[in-house]
Structure 1
Amino acid sequence: MIQYLRTNRFASYILTVLRLYIGWQWLHAGWGKISGGFDASGFLAGAIKQATGEHPAVQPWWADFLSGFAIHNVGLFNVLVPWGEFLVGVGLILGTFTTFAALMGAVMNFSYMFSGTTSTNPQMVLIEILVLVAGFNAAKIGLDRWVILFLKTKIPPVKLKYTLKNTA
């Protein structure tokens, strides 16, 4: 299956449709937050409240992160969330840095699920994982076809030199 996703031409067409769909979802969500004003403080407070009770929807370690870091830096999250969603959408729709965009989308989806929100996040993660597994084949019908070629030909590869020494 992995080989099929990574190399098959027909799979690249299917992945393009999935990529466009998920990209539109991110673009639409991000633009709505950018143009309509966005404040994450209510969402964060609600997620922290879901960490209590007999069957908490939010794990204590995540609630500690939210209350210890995210709440205190809500201004940062008010910028990162809408622009992150919007830029992930742009990357997926244009097929530019596609695997990075899919990875960042998956990170955001997992963050939302950790915060107790299900909605369409599991479906989106599944599609993003397919794009990640497919790698370059998911972006062949997109700008990565030229961007990746440019990067491969214009930027010399980094050669790491290391040695293992016998310590015995």
Structure 2
Amino acid sequence: MFLNFIRTNKISAGILAFLRIYIGYAWLTAGIGKLTGPGFDASGFLQGAIASAGGDHPAVQGWWAAFLEHVALPGAGVFSYLVMFGEVLVGLALILGIFTNFAAIMGMTMNFAFLFSGTVSTNAQMVLITFFIVVAGANAGKIGLDCWVIPFVKERLHKDNHKSEKHIATV
């Protein structure tokens, strides 16, 4: 019953739009702050997360610390850009309601990466709210650009698939 409500109801679409814009604003402002600030560099954050993997009560699990130490830290420059632009793009997409589910999943991915790195802040509540946006599916972007973009994309994909089927049939 709840699943049907969150996926199809117009009132639910309005509530989801509000939540989507709230989460999008949080992502957008965080990303813009990093882009316009004095040269964002994720290496300090990564080193702090790696250091939090030691001691009697580690905040970061060993497997994640190993990933951070051997993959993320050596590529800190790339990860810095991914975080900055990822936050801005996820924020814009959620605010505009375009490719909402993909943007929400990418936002949750970043939230989980921050949580795995020992940062609590607002990440847990953002994951919870974003979970409802993802579960709602298309209804989360119904009040947004998805109501035009998704049908257009589906139509284009259908036409392209139909053309390739005709081509295969003639070969």
Same fold (TM over 0.5): yes
In structure 2, stretches of 5+ residues that fail to align are 163-171
Once the two structures are TM-superposed, the CA of residue 60 in structure 1 deviates from its matched residue by 0.1
Count of residues in correspondence between the two structures: 159
In the superposition, the TM-score normalised over structure 1's length comes to: 0.92
Could you tell me which residue of structure 2 aligns to residue 93 of structure 1? Answer: 95
Partner Cα distance (2:161, 2:130) in 1 = 28
In structure 1, stretches of 5+ residues that fail to align are 160-168
Could you tell me which residue of structure 1 aligns to residue 109 of structure 2? Answer: 107
Partner Cα distance (2:161, 2:69) in 1 = 40
C-alpha spacing 1:61/1:158, structure 2 compared with 1 (3 Å): farther
Return the structure number with greater helix share.
Answer: 2
Could you tell me which residue of structure 1 aligns to residue 31 of structure 2? Answer: 30
Is 1:67 aligned with 2:98?
no
Partner Cα distance (2:126, 2:161) in 1 = 34
Is 1:15 aligned with 2:21?
no
Give deviations 1:2-27, integer Å, cap 9, x for gaps.
11110111000000000000000000
Aligned residue for 1:72, secondary structure, equals: coil
From 40, 43, 48, the equivalent of 1:41 is 43
Give deviations 1:62-102, integer Å, cap 9, x for gaps.
00000000010011011100000000000000000000000
Aligned residue for 1:56, secondary structure, equals: coil
Could you tell me which residue of structure 2 aligns to residue 81 of structure 1? Answer: 83
In the superposition, the TM-score normalised over structure 2's length comes to: 0.91
Structure 1 vs Structure 2 CA RMSD: 1.1
Could you tell me which residue of structure 1 aligns to residue 53 of structure 2? Answer: 51
Which of structure 1's runs of 4+ aligned residues deviate more than 4 A? none
Counterpart residue type for residue 91 of structure 2: G
> What fraction of aligned residue pairs are identical, expressed as a percent?
57
Once the two structures are TM-superposed, the CA of residue 158 in structure 1 deviates from its matched residue by 5.3
Partner Cα distance (2:31, 2:18) in 1 = 20
